[in-house]
Amino acid sequence: MNALIEKINSIYPLPPGSLKLLTDEMRRIELPKSKVLVEAGQTGRTVYFIQKGIARAYCDGKDNQITFWFGLEGDFIFCYNSYINGLPGYESIELLENSILYEIRDEVLQELFRQNIDLANWGRKLAERELIKLEERYIARLFKSASECYKELLKNSPSLIQRVQLGYIASYLGVTQVTLSRIRAEIK
């Protein structure tokens, strides 16, 4: 729970009473590897905090799955379209490891936002941070080579490379596994 509280306050520092309102509504759960938290086309009704484990978001392409983000320890994960608009998401979210998560139902969170300005501001800052991360990934895809993106991934999330199947990383980078193998060989 300490990591959760630290992460919450790093997004937007909450007064103790507001923090307690939020954490009292969060429930610790343990889920197995390969558990799909949300399927594409469903409305995601829960926000999760990863205490232990990794998740990925992906869409089904014509011939394969396309991974477009990973969530690691300390990350909040949710379907953006569901969280913001209450509509079905485009992505599926799957756990890649046995995981320990804290969850809060979206309707509970939205009610907390309506009742408490500090929590509403926290929710806004969370959405803003996620938007910036999404924008950074989008810009990187447009202007950086797969090799540059891989080097950045190595620098910013080295454990991800060791813990995630190379096929998912290749998909995330927008390359084949053969190309990813070449990139890895050039870097060594």
Q: What pTM did the predictor assign?
A: 0.90
Q: Exposed, middle or buried, 162 (CB in 10 Å: 0-12/13-18/19+)?
A: exposed
Q: Exposed, middle or buried, 172 (CB in 10 Å: 0-12/13-18/19+)?
A: buried
The mean pLDDT of 57-70, rounded to a whole number, is: 90
For the record, the structure tokens of 86 come out as 């209450």
- C-alpha closest to that of 128 among 49, 11, 44: 11
For 93-152, the pLDDT digits (tens) are: 999 999 999 999 999 999 999 999 999 999 999 999 989 988 998 898 899 999 999 999
Evaluate if residue 64 carries a pLDDT over 90: no
- C-alpha closest to that of 125 among 29, 10, 22: 10
- Mean pLDDT of the residues in the chain: 93
